[in-house]
Amino acid sequence: MILEYIRYRISEHEAAEFEAAYARAARPLAQSPVCHDFELSRCVEEPRHYILRVHWESLDKHLKDFRSSEEFRAFFAEIRPYVDSIEEMSHYTPTEVVGTGAGAPAP
């Protein structure tokens, strides 16, 4: 498993269309067999900042399989106008430090 984080800086006047573009891009991303899940979050303190988190099967599957797929072409067509707004794009390996807080619902 690999986690990709993409940090964007989006102007206030582009925010609604950025979110709409990602809502459209979510369809082909969700169809990819190498994408396990994803979420787009907006910063509360700095509303111009967004983070996209994508859980990929592996780095190789993301970079080779997804990026050469029809799903990628459809995904990228939607988000292409915002590529220059990317401030960071990195892959991370989760550690064994995981847990839930006291406020989490019981299993």
The 10s digit of each residue's pLDDT in 20-35 is: 999 999 999 999 999 9
What pLDDT is stored for residue 102 in this prediction?
87
For residue 42, give both structure tokens.
Answer: 């907006």
In order of start, what are the domains of the chain with their CATH numbers?
2-92 (3.30.70.100)
Residues 8 and 90 sit within 8 Å (Cβ to Cβ)? no
The 10s digit of each residue's pLDDT in 44-56 is: 999 999 999 999 9
The 10s digit of each residue's pLDDT in 59-98 is: 999 999 999 999 999 999 999 999 999 999 999 999 999 9
Query: For residue 71, how many other CB atoms are within 10 A of its CB?
Result: 21
Question: HSE of 50 in the Cβ direction (CA atoms, 13 Å)?
Answer: 19
C-alpha 45: how far from chain center: 20
Question: Which residues touch 32 (CB under 8 Å, ≥6 apart)?
Answer: 66, 69, 71, 72
How many angstroms separate the CA atoms of 82 and 55, rounded?
21
Q: What is the mean pLDDT of the chain?
A: 96
Please state the pTM of the whole predicted model.
0.90
